[in-house]
Amino acid sequence: MTTDEPVSTTATTSVTTNRVRTIRRGDEIVATGRRKTAVARVRLRPGKGEITVNGRDFEAYFPAVKDRALVAGALEQVGKRSVVNVAITVDGGGPTGQAGACRLGIARALKVFDAELAEPLRQGGLLTRDGRMKERKKYGLRGARRGTQFSKR
């Protein structure tokens, strides 16, 4: 390598805690959230409080009030709703699973954004991954637990 080559100015730092990897690229933080079969990749950067999901405004993407409250809940609980811009790419699952994945991804990104927020996020249960998944169907049954209807004759 010669001294004439330009040096990269974008520093990428990877923070790994308990198998959770969060990446900091300059002023942008990239984190991942999961819920059921949904996966959300969250990009958080300082801004005016805009939240976009898959290129659309999050009010348009999540029409249900409960899903919007779930997504914005992590930001509002720590008072950072109007301080950061969030761009989310979410895939898989349904609306509720996607909203839960977004919430976990935002909470993980906020933890790296400001280390002092880790304890309030932990106290609110926002950094805990919900491990409940759909139970598999068993042979001899109609579903995971439901059997066939009993017939006397």
Per-residue pLDDT, 7: 47
pLDDT score at 146: 95
Pairing mode of beta strands 28-35, 38-46: antiparallel
Q: What is the structure's pLDDT at 18?
A: 63
pTM: 0.84
Residues contacting 63, CB < 8 A, separation 6+:
none
Q: Which two tokens stand for residue 134?
A: 């759909």
SS3 of residue 67 by DSSP:
helix
Residue 53 pairs with which residues in a beta bridge?
56, 88
Q: Where are the beta strands (DSSP E) in 26-62?
A: 28-35, 38-46, 51-53, 56-57
Positive or negative, the CA dihedral 93, 100, 44, 14 is negative
Q: Are strands 20-25 and 38-46 parallel, antiparallel or unpaired?
A: unpaired
User: Residue 24's pLDDT is what?
Assistant: 83
Residue numbers of the chain with a pLDDT score lower than 70? 1-19
Q: What is the pLDDT of residues 31-63, one digit of tens each?
A: 999 999 999 999 999 999 999 999 999 999 999
